[in-house]
Amino acid sequence: MRVMVLGGAGFIGSAFVRELNKRGIRPLVYDLLTYAGRLENLKDTDHEFVKGDIRDEKLQEAIAKYRPEVVVNFAAETHVDRSIYKPQDFLTTNILGTVNVLDASRHYNFKYIHISTDEVYGEECGNENSPLNPSSPYSASKASADLFVRAYVRTYKVEAIIIRPSNNYGPRQFPEKFIPKAIIRTLLGLHVPIYGDGKAERDWMFVEDTGRIIADLIEKAEWSGEVYNIPGGQRYSVLDVVKMIGEVMGREVEVRFVNDRPGHDRRYCMTTGLRYEVTPLREGLRKTVEWYLNNRWWWKPLIKDRFFVEDEPWSKGGVNT
């Protein structure tokens, strides 16, 4: 099967490439290699690679040449704090980039898998038909893209589905995100900044499970704009997860409560019509901690990033700069 993975050099995209390899598929990865996308993430995988932007004409050219049967789009700006600091890139990549992929699907007849997020439902528990109620520039950009997917299915009859995963964690997640940040900062003997009271609740999913569930959906999905929620089914507060990380690492985690993130959702929560197995959080955290312990070469060059160094980076430098 000819599969093209947009954003395949990122965290979930590279786990998905590994899952495809397990199934004997050698995909084409198309990725701009932004700060979050790294060829290191694709080490030891079997793939072709094209460096490119999903917002460009070059995407259409790559699709015309490769003629994929399936295109899976993980390419996005993904960090909520960065979206508060500077929303524009989220609009162009997450919305205009998606529309560019959808335009290609009108001409080249591939099945399109759009990767969305549970954050589009806001704080209310969502099933696949629940209204979208985004709170951050990030989730607003993801919700907008989802609406374009639905519109293209209806108007142009393109074959597409929308998948909404919950909070992923695991190897190769950029250290700006909460779990790798907590692990690495603890390894370095630094405090872990926690927004507000630390009681914000997320639904945690090990990234290898997400890769497997998405790959299964290539075979199982209906292709007329269906939404597939994929919750991890393990809802824990940020503080609970920090405690668990400390237990798994066998170390004291020094927590420092800092000003809450503006617009911070207290929880995410979804139901799903799908059935699948997931890795228990403690086991997934053990694998994740082990990976960061054994792969210091991967994260050492990344820890000068302000979203790793500063407690509330979105509040420094102003919005819209």
Ligand X SMILES: NC(=O)c1ccc[n+]([C@@H]2O[C@H](COP(=O)([O-])OP(=O)(O)OC[C@H]3O[C@@H](n4cnc5c(N)ncnc54)[C@H](O)[C@@H]3O)[C@@H](O)[C@H]2O)c1
Residue 120 within binding range of ligand X, rule CB under 6 A: no
The residue written with tokens 């954050």 in the block is: 119
Contact 10, 37 (CB under 8 A): yes
Binding mask 170-209 toward ligand X (x if CB under 6 A, else -) reads: ----x-----------------------------------
Give the range of 53-61, 103-111, 148-156, 281-289 binding ligand X by CB under 6 A.
53-61
Which of these ranges, 26-34, 42-50, 124-132, 269-277, lies near ligand X under the rule CB under 6 A?
26-34
Minimal distance, residue 51 CB to ligand X, in Å: 9
- Which residue, 100 or 251, has its beta carbon nearer to ligand X? 100
If you search the block for the tokens 């929560």, which residue do you land on?
269
Q: Are 321 and 91 in contact (CB under 8 A)?
A: no
Contacts with ligand X, 128-167, as mask; x by CB under 6 A: --------------x----------------------x-x
Tell whether residue 68 is a contact of ligand X (CB under 6 A). Answer: no
Is residue 119 part of the annotated active site? The answer reads: yes
Distance of alpha carbon 91 from its chain centroid, rounded?
A: 16
32 binds ligand X (CB under 6 A): yes
Answer yes or no whether residue 55 interacts with ligand X by CB under 6 A: yes
Distances (CA, A) of 202 to 41, 157, 209, 256, 268: 25, 35, 17, 19, 5
Interface with ligand X, residue 9, by CB under 6 A: yes
- Cα 213 off chain centre by: 14
**Strand residues in the chain grouped as ranges (E):** 3-6, 28-31, 48-51, 70-73, 111-115, 160-165, 167-169, 192-195, 201-206, 224-230, 235-237, 255-258
Contact 1, 69 (CB under 8 A): yes
Q: What is the DSSP letter of 199?
A: -
For strand 201-206 and strand 235-237, is the pairing parallel, antiparallel, or unpaired?
antiparallel
> Whole-number minimum distance, CB 33 to ligand X, in Å?
5
76 sits near ligand X (criterion: CB under 6 A): yes
Name the residue type at position 295.
Answer: N
Considering only 5, 10, 233, 284, the residue that binds ligand X (CB under 6 A) is 10
Q: Which of 96, 244 has the CB closer to ligand X?
A: 96
Q: Which stretch binds ligand X (CB under 6 A): 32-40, 124-132, 214-222, 303-311?
A: 32-40
CA–CA–CA angle 13, 14, 19 (5° rounding): 95
Q: Give min distance, CB of 113 to ligand X, in A.
A: 11
Are 207 and 169 in contact, with CB atoms under 8 Å apart? Answer: yes
Binding track, positions 80-109, relative to ligand X; x by CB under 6 A: -------------x---x------------
Q: Which listed residue (118, 201, 208, 265) is catalytic?
A: 118
**Local structure of 10: helix, strand or coil:** coil
Would you call 33 helix, strand, or coil by DSSP? coil
- In this structure, the dihedral spanned by the alpha carbons of residues 135, 12, 254 and 199, taken in order and rounded to 10 degrees, is 30
Residues marked as catalytic? 118-119, 138
Residues that bind ligand X (CB under 6 A): 7, 9-13, 31-34, 36-37, 53-55, 74-78, 93, 97, 115, 117, 142, 165, 167-168, 174
